[in-house]
Amino acid sequence: MASPRAADLADALASMRRQQPLTHCLTNIVAAPWTANVLLAAGAAPAMVDNAHEAAGFTQVASAVLVNLGTPYDDTSAAMRVAASAAAEHGTPWVLDPVAVGGLPWRTELAAELLDARPAVVRGNASEVLALGGGGGGRGVDSTDDPAAAMDAARALAGEHGCVVAVSGPVDHLTDGDTIVRVANGHEWLTRVTGVGCALGALMAAYAGSVDDRLTAAVAATAHLTVAADVAAETTRGPGSFAVSLLDELAILMPRTLAERVRLS
């Protein structure tokens, strides 16, 4: 498919809000509350079901699934495995957010295993995407690499696993293995609020649950979050008030404003 245009993103936003996709999140103890609030503000319906007794079954009810490796434990990683497999089996689109892979061997193995369950989207920073592709690894959740430097690895990963790979950074880079889309919105304060990247992965799942084209879904989620951040930063004075305003703007943002302000290339 061709690269999504601004009008496609506006349509995706309207469609996502209309459908209120039930977004099944298996995520970490740091980002879980913020992720749920971002999804609710944006217009989706979050549900965190992350025990192995229920996680597989719930993927059949959900519109989309997020698997985020921020704080995996033995029990929740077992839930992640069965949820990813069940999502693949039932055709429920799911997003893999391989937080801090590379430097941490246990979760790096887990991420490699999860990749076999065919995620619709993989979202990470440049270090994480390089590590998934067999390269290095950062010092935790921070990226020590630039998104542009990870795009060869991202395209290879996308091609090999048939997924979209989204590389977050000052300019977000997304690829389906062929096309590369860049979104140049966002603000430095996004790096001073915990769980913004994690919430972006969840928002990509929400969009993937309501829009057919995966690249459009991932780009629309990125544009929704980063344009809302641009607006929020205009009237706030630090990371605390910015985070509050970001939730307001995620809820208020009109599709037309999204199309006008998004900086695609």
Query: Nearest 5°: CA angle at 124, between 160 and 104?
Result: 95
Contact between 106 and 64 (Cβ < 8 Å): no
Task: Report, in Å, the least distance between residue 72 CB and a copy of itself.
Answer: 6
Residue 123 tokens, joined:
């979202």
| 144 contributes a contact to a copy of itself by CB under 8 A | no
In terms of Cβ atoms closer than 10 Å to its own Cβ (0-12, 13-18, 19+), residue 74 is exposed
- 195 annotated as a binding-site residue: yes
| 252 contributes a contact to a copy of itself by CB under 8 A | yes
Task: Report, in Å, the least distance between residue 108 CB and a copy of itself.
Answer: 10
User: How many chain residues are in contact with a copy of itself, going by CB under 8 A?
Assistant: 63
Residue 144 tokens, joined:
């020590």
As beta bridge partners, residue 121 has 95, 164
Cα 70 to Cα 245: distance, rounded to the nearest angstrom:
25
| 33 contributes a contact to a copy of itself by CB under 8 A | yes
Q: Diameter of the chain by CA atoms?
A: 47
When the beta carbons of 124 and 177 are compared against a copy of itself, the nearer one is 124
Task: Report, in Å, the least distance between residue 91 CB and a copy of itself.
Answer: 18
| 251 contributes a contact to a copy of itself by CB under 8 A | yes
When the beta carbons of 4 and 209 are compared against a copy of itself, the nearer one is 209
Task: Report, in Å, the least distance between residue 164 CB and a copy of itself.
Answer: 26
